[in-house]
Chains A and B, each alone.
Chain A
Amino acid sequence: MDKINVLIIEDTLAQSDTLVHALEENNYAVVGVATTLTEALSLFYSSQKVDLVIIDIFLHGVPDGIAFAETINAVPNASKPFVFLTSSTDRQIFERAKLTQPFSYLLKPFNELELLYAIEMAVEKFYAQQDVFFGDEEDTVISEEYLFIKKGKSLKKVQITDIIYIEVEEKYCNIITEKEKFVILISLTKILKLLDNTIFCRTHRNYIANLEKIEEIILADNLILLSGNHKVTLSDTYKDIVKRMRTLR
């Protein structure tokens, strides 16, 4: 599991320091602090992967924060979740900021809990999977690239391509990657719906395997051997998978 990379756009040093401190305290990785719009854009589009942006609406007295959000929203696939940070309760600014959907905001002064809440809210809204982190039933938001998992007070991410297979146990899912193994809270139907079904396939009532990690299929034993010496059961119901394998290879 990796830390979430956060880009901060904030022109007041005291504010950005507080933010960096609070974020790092909660296991977020701050990839940079931009103080202007151009700086922010160059940092955002640089090689380092940014997962989330915290944007102060007013940069040096002008609402460049909104301009930034509008810019990154212009390219849908490159866009990332963002949180507006503002001390202004000015309705007009809010109305304009609100146009950059999805809209999450954090009012200054804020405390640590409010910051974390706003970040989680932004992720949920951005990936259109609301009410994940705040209920008791689920704790994972699935994007195309990552699983965002709530661990304690903060969020973690796991690259989906790293997953070898998923073992479903009632409402839990055991995620097995090459490096680690952990449990997330998500329903089977939801995970099946959200994962790319050209890569992830159900092999058994309780298993979902990453097709790209399959090393061998032993039909006699109803077994699939995966990389890292992992094994999953292949039940009769899902034997169609073999055909797909052939066509794939």
Chain B
Amino acid sequence: MDFSSFFRPETVAVIGVSYSSDQHPANVIFSKNLLRYPARIFPVNPKGGELLGQEVFSSISKIPEAIDLAVIAVRADLVPLIISECIKAGVKGAIVISGGFAEVGRHDLQDALIKAASKDNFPVIGPNCLGSFCPGFIDTFFLPSERVVQPPSGNVAIISQSGGILVDLLVKFADEGIGISSAISIGNKALIREIQLLEHFSHDPETDVIAFYIEGFKENEGRHFVKKAALCPKPVVVIKSGKTEQGSRAVSSHTASLAGDYKVFEGVCKQHGIFVAQDEFELVNYCEALSCYSESSGRKIGVVSASGGHGALSVDACTHHGLEVPVLSETLQKELKEVLSENVKSIASIGNPIDLTGSAKEYDFVQTVEILSGSDEIDCILLLILPYVPGISSDLGARVSLIYRKFGKPLVAYVPHVDKYRMLIEGFELNKVPVSSSIEGAVLMAKAIGTKRNA
């Protein structure tokens, strides 16, 4: 199946626009795409007429152009018929925004939708979903643009069963400066499910990381999903709800009692090289790190900071997450000492964690990162920046990021995320070096980069 019409449509029909409510999902989708996206948009309502100065077509078949994508927001009972009309009109795919199907017990309507679409192998996302958001191309979320926070265009694809979780994740992605290629809410996933989208994005040249919010799989579907993910050359990150099991029924074997659904999910994902994020915080940090470095490096971390406390806390977090902070060799320590500023040399600790102290100059950070970048003793540098230290400037982010470009040694940074330090943060972000707003987040990034995949 070709899914390009969902993510890069040139022509879009919005079926079900209202004349009485600007806030009707179809109207919001129509107006945002009309005003802010490149696709040609055609509103549809049986009454015809005009909306925002555009001609409203009385049916999909009346639109004079070939339609790539139909966005359907009509009453649930009308959807199967509309799907048939779309197929007849040669539409390439449809997103069904409407709710009122299996989620409210109307399995008959959902079955009718499936029947209408599968006869011609017609791709449908939904029902009961937000559809797709691809920065610069299409946005079928029925949320007014001024209300949402949108991440920039980038290389992470997110697929979510829940629309609410998806929009919330996008807020967090935007906050961390993580760019997305596509975000898709699949709702009831009556036809297109996680597995087909995994397949699609594993071939999508604009996507380097594929993230999922999963509630559950159909019988044996999980087995196929993880096998496909293991073969996917791109990192796959998942977050799953349902950690706590309610009303655990009496089980007759110890294994059945120990092997709860989430525990099985976690073990099986690990086995197949899938990153399992325990919460949104982990998901965001994994995605940011993997969007910058898709090759896995290793678990030996070199910690650089201007504060002993930051070094100590990050060593604790590294150990907790199975990372090593090895003591540097005498030779490497000597090499480091030689390049540091005179006043720093005598007070810095350079065994690893490296504490350059509050007297450190920008020069000391650059030199330290450069020397560590050239060493085999560590696999990744964790740079904890305290922007209030007088010796450093806002240029530091960009300067050390360029060292990564030169040596290829992965670097992750911690900088407090407040507006005052924005230029420093962007110095990293714009140069594709992941930067977290917390020490714990930066350590999770290092963990993601250091985890071997598809063993």
Is chain B a partner of chain A in the same complex?
A: no
**Taking beta carbons and an 8 Å cutoff, which residues of A are in contact with B?**
none
